[in-house]
């Protein structure tokens, strides 16, 4: 299963819905990626894919400075799961893989 591509994410947080775009690439069996949203671009770290379960970490500064840990299940071109920021409650994450360069309607 490949998770490479451009993913449009929606994270339902206590402060509202946050939209982001995540790009994942695989090279020599290693996943790398970046996320863009809220006016910033951040690298993804500790990206793992195990039997349809995708996890990664990222640090953001907007709207708050947080270290986030994502845990989602990938099913084809959709993903669903959670994002967690330390002791804060988990936030629901949904996403859809889109062709590179496609604008969201």
* Segment 69-84 mean pLDDT: 98
pLDDT confidence bin for 105, thresholds 50/70/90: very low
Considering its fold, how many domains does the chain have in total? 1
Has residue 72 been placed in a domain? yes
The pLDDT tens digits for 10-52 are 999 888 899 999 999 999 989 999 999 989 999 999 999 999 9
Residue 94, token pair as written in the block: 């949904």
Write down the residue that tokens 């990206």 correspond to: 47
Q: Which domain holds residue 58?
A: 5-89
Distance, CA of 85 to CA of 97 (rounded, Å):
24
Has residue 74 been placed in a domain? yes
* Segment 51-60 mean pLDDT: 96
Distances (CA, A) of 30 to 2, 3, 33, 91: 12, 12, 10, 27
Has residue 102 been placed in a domain? no
The pLDDT tens digits for 90-101 are 999 999 999 866
CA atoms within 13 A on the CB side of 7: 25
DSSP assignment letter at 7: E
Has residue 94 been placed in a domain? no
Has residue 50 been placed in a domain? yes
Q: Model's pTM, two decimal places?
A: 0.90
């Amino acid at each position: 299963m490949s998770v490479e591509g451009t993913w449009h994410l929606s994270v339902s947080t206590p402060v509202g819905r946050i939209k982001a775009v995540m790009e994942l690439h695989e090279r020599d069996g290693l996943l790398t990626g970046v996320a863009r949203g809220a006016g910033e671009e951040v690298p993804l770290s500790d990206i793992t894919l195990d039997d349809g379960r995708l996890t990664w970490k990222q640090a953001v500064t907007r709207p708050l400075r947080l270290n986030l840990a994502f845990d989602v299940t990938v099913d084809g071109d959709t993903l669903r799961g959670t994002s967690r920021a330390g002791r804060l409650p988990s936030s629901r994450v949904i996403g859809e893989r889109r062709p590179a360069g496609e604008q969201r309607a």
